[in-house]
Chain A
Amino acid sequence: MSLLTQRLRVLPFLPAYVALYFLFLYLPILLLPVFSLNDAATTTFPLAGFTTKWYASLAGNSVMLQAAWNSLVVGVAVSLLSTVLGICAARAITRYRFRGQRAAAGLIMAPLFLPEIIVAVSLLMIVLAMGVELSLITVILGQTVFCVPYAMSVLVSGFEGFDRSLEEASYDLGETAIGTFRRVTLPVVAPAIVSSLLVTFTISLDEFILAFFLSGTEPTLPVYIWGQLRFAAKLPGVLALGTVMLVASILMLTLTEILRRRAERRTQMAFTLP
């Protein structure tokens, strides 16, 4: 029996394996919305009945709302900050050639591969050693370090399609520097920038370890959820909150992907010569 026929025999099991794999991956997440709509304080089957009261309870939970607000502030700040830094880095890497370029790019990407908890502990040590008080600002700074690599990789692929001669063509056709930035530079790289904002916001929104170490007395949503898990009675509320966050994340990532594809389609052909 040849190797090929051996392989073919295993093949019928492949779809089953894939199905199992996805089940294992996504079933727990699917349970989240299911139990969040269940009229019982425990997460056990059979389901007790349909209710939206857990969602209603969220609205009146001022501590939770404060945490959500913190998360929003942190998320917006982190996404703006890391995208701005990412733009600088991506432009440097795609537009210029300089000594140590590869090393610089590598160092910027490094936080992606370092254990997050190690980074968190080191940052905490430094912050404490410097006598800085833990606050949302320290969370923002910590998460920015972490998000810049994501921002940069999204932006680099966006900028790579951007050719210097586009700006020159615009000047050549009579446009001013400001007009060129507005009519050419910005529209061409805008999808990449929006993608970067969305990706980094999403990452910040559910980042836990850095926020846990660096947030002090102002919890972000993940830190708040972590605190609530100690009280069994709070669980359904947490599930409802988790569902809301899940839906928000999925929406944002979908939007990002749509934008990325649109940008890709645009730049793809415009510069590839026949």
Chain B
Amino acid sequence: MRHIIAILMQNEAGALARVAGMFSARGYNIESLTVATTHDPSISRLTLVTTGDDAVIAQIINQSRKLVDVLEIADLTSREHLESELLIVKVASTPETSTRIADFTHRRYGITLDETPSTRTLQFTGRGAHISGVLDDLAAFAPVLELARSGTAALDRGDLVLALQD
């Protein structure tokens, strides 16, 4: 099953590698990983998406919680949560397709970040499935030249806040 794991950790060299190592050491592939500093600059938040056996993942989470740099870790999968992802994609543009690309981008709540006579660079956000759908539809009429996806970021829905239990 797909798991979305949120981790708060000290913003230290090596901390990210240690957490990632807990998964790679078991041969688990990390599908996506986003990490950035939070509103507290000493703390980073990491969202990790992986697929695997529930019991094994529960064990990895328990063992990751022992890492000295880790402040809190939670599997958001089974809780109500919000997911979002960012896509930046560069497509080929011709005089025939440019209007259609602009319309499509507008309709799918995207932004045009950059344009040249032969390319358009677009940005879309939303759940991973939504982003994938956007990409498929876009690629159907505008050849994709390159793209970067941020990977999933996630938060609990509602009042629940992931924070160090004190």
Binding between chains A and B: no
A residues whose Cβ falls under 8 Å from a Cβ of B? none
